[in-house]
Amino acid sequence: MLLAALFLVQGVAQQVEQRQRPLLTERAADWCQLCGGWAWVFMAGLIEDNDDKAVIMSAHYDGNLSNPAAKEITDNFNGFYQPRFYLNENDVNATAGNATTTRTNVKTQVDAAFEQSPVANTGFQPMYIDGQIKVAAKVKFFQAAQGEYYLGLYLLEDNVIAYQNNIGNNANHRKLFRYSFTASAWGEPIANGDVTADQEFDLNFALTIGDPTGYEYEVVGVIWKKEGDKYKVVNTWSTKQIEVVLSATSEPRGLASFEVVPNLASTQATVKLQLAENQAHAALDVYDLDGRKMANLHTGTLRSGVHSFEINREMVGRSGLFLVRFSDGDGVSVRKVVFE
């Protein structure tokens, strides 16, 4: 119940960046020879040029690395063969003969888009809790708008070693589109009709998956606007930070009690731990809701008995909700503290 409450509070606290980022998509297949030829080099160039200003993904619509959402999205872009590359929903018409020029043109367009004022954007911090990546997303409209809008959430994986025709079994696939968080490739509806400037919407998503630790995952959000039977990109946002709040294993062994007093504090709070047995690999840390470690209160051995640790506002740098996380190397337990 505590973790569920933290998840809901996180959605309220999430900040939305007022920034425009386009979507760059490759339509590919592992059996495609050209995808492992000129397109392989072209994709690497797009990542090198634009990774800080665009969301980039390789969507395999067919083959061993494919998924239905990747096919549906690239079909929506009128992609009926491969390799093809799209800036938002528009084919950049890249070929082996014009790849160098097209790469330069794409970077110019991405740079220009990055400077534009966005109609809307999304923000979120994924948390892995009991076998699911859970995302409380916020969408904010910075301008008045009208239409039918959706938020799609997707999981990408970087540096996937798998077969690619023309390269072999050890090809290193970049920005691979793995999963959609929803059965619909377009995600969840945001609004349909008139939207006012500064209007906000909260949406929750969950993807059942194994522990993300050790995987180079990236959670991507795309705001779509439906026009007729087509979906057009409004804006994108992504994060590679997935905070593992609670694994599916257990709480730390020998943890008798764990509390933060008071959990609503003005300047200082005390973490109280009672251990029924010695802990050889104890770690007590404080995180913010963006998954950043704000303070380490202890790392190493803790003997059985009662222990106290102080947290103050100077450690975390600001007011807000923070997560106090205790681990013994196997299990994890989390408490909350709010600095006013």
Same-domain status, 270 and 207: no
pLDDT at position 9 is 42
Boundary residue ending a domain (244, 270, 295): 244
CA–CA gap between residue 136 and residue 127 (Å, rounded): 9
Residue written as token pair 């949406």: 203
Same-domain status, 232 and 280: no
| Gyration radius of the chain's alpha carbons | 22
pLDDT at position 171 is 95
Same-domain status, 238 and 277: no
Domain of residue 256: give its range: 249-339
pLDDT tens digits, residue range 191-207?
999 999 999 999 999 99
pLDDT at position 8 is 41
Q: How far is CA 141 from CA 8, 22, 194, 220, in A?
A: 21, 16, 11, 18
pLDDT at position 252 is 87
Task: State the average pLDDT over residues 95-122.
Answer: 98
Q: Is the pLDDT of residue 5 over 50?
A: no
Residue 33's CATH number: 2.60.40.10
Of 42 and 11, the one with more pLDDT? 42
% of the chain exceeding 90 in pLDDT:
76
pLDDT at position 338 is 87
Give residue 292's pLDDT band: very low, low, confident or very high (50, 70, 90): confident
Of 96 and 288, the one with more pLDDT? 96
Same-domain status, 97 and 211: yes
CA–CA gap between residue 122 and residue 19 (Å, rounded): 10
Of 15 and 206, the one with more pLDDT? 206
pLDDT at position 245 is 67
Decide if 151 contacts 58 (C-beta within 8 A).
no
Q: How many domains does the chain have?
A: 2
- The CA-based angle 109-62-78, given to 5 degrees, is 45
Q: Is the pLDDT of residue 306 over 60?
A: yes
Give residue 122's pLDDT band: very low, low, confident or very high (50, 70, 90): very high
| Strand partners for 25 | 57, 86
Task: State the average pLDDT over residues 302-325.
Answer: 91
Decide if 23 contacts 223 (C-beta within 8 A).
no
* pLDDT, averaged across the chain: 91
pLDDT at position 290 is 62
Give residue 248's pLDDT band: very low, low, confident or very high (50, 70, 90): very low
% of the chain exceeding 70 in pLDDT:
93
**Within 13 Å, how many C-alpha atoms sit on residue 53's CB side?**
16
pLDDT at position 319 is 84
Same-domain status, 119 and 254: no
Same-domain status, 82 and 187: yes
Task: State the average pLDDT over residues 66-87.
Answer: 96
Same-domain status, 51 and 89: yes
Q: How far is CA 172 from CA 44, 74, 162, 169, 311, in A?
A: 11, 22, 7, 9, 44
Of 333 and 66, the one with more pLDDT? 66
Boundary residue ending a domain (216, 244, 272): 244
pLDDT at position 322 is 87
* Tokens coding 296: 């380490």
Give residue 55's pLDDT band: very low, low, confident or very high (50, 70, 90): very high
pTM equals 0.74
Same-domain status, 234 and 122: yes
Same-domain status, 21 and 142: yes
Same-domain status, 14 and 109: yes
Residue written as token pair 């906000």: 200
Decide if 108 contacts 223 (C-beta within 8 A).
no
Boundary residue ending a domain (244, 270, 305): 244
Same-domain status, 194 and 325: no
Least confident of 53-57, 110-114, 324-328: 324-328
Same-domain status, 239 and 334: no
pLDDT at position 32 is 98
pLDDT at position 96 is 98
